[in-house]
Amino acid sequence: MKQSIEKNEKIIAWHAPEFEYRHKSLEWYWLTIIGSVILFVVAVWEQDFLFALFLIIAEFLFIHWAREYPKTLRFALTKNGLEIGPKERYGFDQMSGFHIEERNDHAELILKMRNRTHPYLKVIILEEDVPEITAFLHRRIPEIDYEETLTDVFERMIGF
């Protein structure tokens, strides 16, 4: 019975990296380390040892995350919402709108979520899929204007 339901419902599926990877040079790593060392020295000088410990942990995590390559995931738009990989599901009732941002070699689907702690969900899509995805989403949620957040600018500036 499940197969007949899937045949009748419209599904748009694609594979894409989970995030846009930006190469970081050796100088990038040295700059983050130097910045962390400077902040560490200031924290020790001020006798804020908890902050100094936080800086050490944060720098290790920063370097670890910077070296990660994105996994290729399966994304699917169904009548119920967005599926990401085998486990994540976001229903259209959790979304209040969408925007598609054109990039150099791909496009980015930006979904405005009703969740205040995680207001936007960004998904990489192929440029040739933009018209089909736009038409599909127009039938379910409104298109919105999206202004780049300070976090977006900061991520791009530091290479994340």
Per-residue pLDDT reduced to its tens digit, 25-79: 888 889 889 999 999 999 999 999 999 999 999 999 989 988 888 888 899 998 8
Whether the CB-CB separation of 63 and 32 falls below 8 Å is answered with: yes
Tokens of 65: 């995350």
pLDDT at 6: 38
| Phi-psi map region of 77: left, alpha, beta (phi>0 left; psi -120 to 50 alpha) | beta
Q: How confident is the prediction for the chain on average, in pLDDT?
A: 84
Nearest residue to 28 via CA among 61, 66, 64, 57: 66
pLDDT at 159: 67
Structural domain of residue 7, as residue ranges? 2-19+71-158
- Does the structure show a pLDDT above 60 at 2? no
Tokens of 79: 């009548």
The Cα–Cα gap between 158 and 28 comes to 9
- Does the structure show a pLDDT above 60 at 5? no
What total number of domains does the chain contain? 2
Positive or negative torsion for Cα 74, 76, 82, 83 = negative
User: 140 with 76, same domain?
Assistant: yes
User: 61 with 123, same domain?
Assistant: no
User: 53 with 121, same domain?
Assistant: no
Question: Residue ranges of the alpha helices (H) in the chain?
Answer: 2-8, 26-45, 49-67, 130-138, 150-158
User: 55 with 119, same domain?
Assistant: no
If you average pLDDT over residues 137-141, what whole number do you get?
89
